[in-house]
């Protein structure tokens, strides 16, 4: 049996926000259907911060293993510090049927979960987006959010003002290249981008997306206005935390997988009696999402294998289409 391989160079050219968002929707719907997700393995490899994670699951007749790696220092050799390899198993034999390398694509995949949550939970009239975090993922998160809401202003917030300004400048370039419409004081498309502090960004936001490696809260509950939606994307391992726990008392909590969110995600810090709803249940209509304009909604994503499965399958389909 021939193993299909899509390497990093090919997947980089195939992935875009539309593919990532559609595959994310497919995965979240599958997560509340006939599917299984297994416990995540997080393995530190060396004292220099090298680590890998293994996520696995099955949906219907398909099975997937995703290996993610983080090797600080790779960039000094012209390589990404982050790696992502998705292995698909043949449903009848259990043999490997495809391997998809998608380190660059993983940024789109992660941000798609955020965009789906914003589309499902944020107010329709949301106009101010705040991105907390100044790493490479912040750009993906902002671009994805623009696919589902007509934001007029983006606030880029970080703990270091110079890093926030640098990321804001890069975001002006990114949105200026993709936005349509008349020019304004911000960037083409009528969107204004500015750097600010985390507190100011949260206080002014309709939608907040966090993409940090924080191990203690960067957002205080007192900063969050009624009606705000927050997508917390950074906590994907024990010890990480982006949100103050007082926020849970006045918010409705949603996530990709409740059991995973409570073990390695942001809601590991939530009391057991605090209800957490799977976003897939909202998508199917089995559970309510936003019920009024003043409700604060919080979505936690730690990433799950079914999203990697749907994402890899979508890349394989697009790769096949380009070869015909």
Neighbours of 41 (CB within 10 A): 11
303: left (phi over 0), alpha (psi -120 to 50) or beta: left
Q: Is 240 a catalytic residue?
A: no
Whole-number Å distance between alpha carbons of 120 and 269: 24
Neighbours of 51 (CB within 10 A): 16
Tokens of 250: 């006045």
Cα torsion angle, 141, 209, 25, 97, sign = positive
Strand partners, 210: 132, 232
Alpha-carbon distances, residue 273 vs 40, 91, 93 (angstroms): 23, 38, 42
What's phi and psi for 34, nearest 5 deg? Answer: -80, 80
Neighbours of 46 (CB within 10 A): 9
Q: Which one from 55, 66, 215, 240 is the annotated catalytic residue?
A: 66
Of 134, 129, 191, residue with least CA distance to 161: 134
- List helix spans (H) across 179-254: 198-204
Cα torsion angle, 216, 143, 300, 56, sign = negative
> Which of the residues are catalytic?
66
């Amino acid at each position: 049996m021939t193993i299909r391989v899509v390497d990093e160079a090919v997947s980089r050219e195939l992935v875009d926000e539309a593919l990532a968002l559609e595959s994310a929707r497919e995965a979240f719907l599958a997560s509340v259907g006939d599917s299984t997700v297994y416990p995540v393995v997080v393995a530190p490899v060396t004292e220099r911060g090298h680590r890998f994670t293994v996520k696995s699951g099955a949906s219907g007749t398909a099975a997937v293993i995703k290996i993610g790696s983080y090797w600080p220092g790779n960039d000094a050799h012209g390589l990404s510090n982050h790696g992502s390899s998705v292995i698909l198993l043949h449903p009848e034999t259990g043999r490997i049927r495809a391997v998809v390398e998608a380190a660059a694509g993983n940024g789109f995949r992660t941000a798609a979960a955020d965009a789906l949550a914003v589309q499902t939970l944020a107010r329709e009239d949301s106009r101010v987006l705040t991105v907390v975090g100044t790493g490479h993922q912040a750009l993906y998160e902002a671009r994805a959010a623009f696919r589902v809401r007509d934001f007029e202003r983006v606030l880029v917030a970080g703990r270091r003002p110079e890093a926030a300004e640098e990321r804001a400048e890069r975001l002006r370039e990114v949105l200026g290249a993709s936005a349509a419409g008349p020019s304004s004081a911000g960037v083409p498309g009528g969107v204004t981008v500015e750097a600010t502090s985390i507190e100011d960004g949260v206080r002014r936001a309709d939608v907040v997306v966090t993409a940090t490696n924080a191990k203690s809260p960067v957002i205080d509950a007192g900063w969050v206005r009624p009606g705000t939606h927050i997508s917390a994307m950074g906590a994907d391992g024990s010890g990480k935390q982006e949100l103050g726990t007082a926020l849970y008392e006045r918010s409705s909590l949603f996530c990709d997988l409740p059991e995973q969110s409570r073990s390695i995600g942001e809601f590991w810090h939530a009391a057991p009696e605090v209800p957490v709803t799977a976003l897939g249940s909202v998508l199917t209509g089995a559970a309510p999402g936003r019920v009024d304009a003043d409700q604060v909604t919080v979505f936690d994503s730690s990433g799950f294998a079914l999203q990697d499965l749907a994402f890899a399958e979508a890349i394989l389909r697009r790769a096949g289409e380009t070869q015909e």
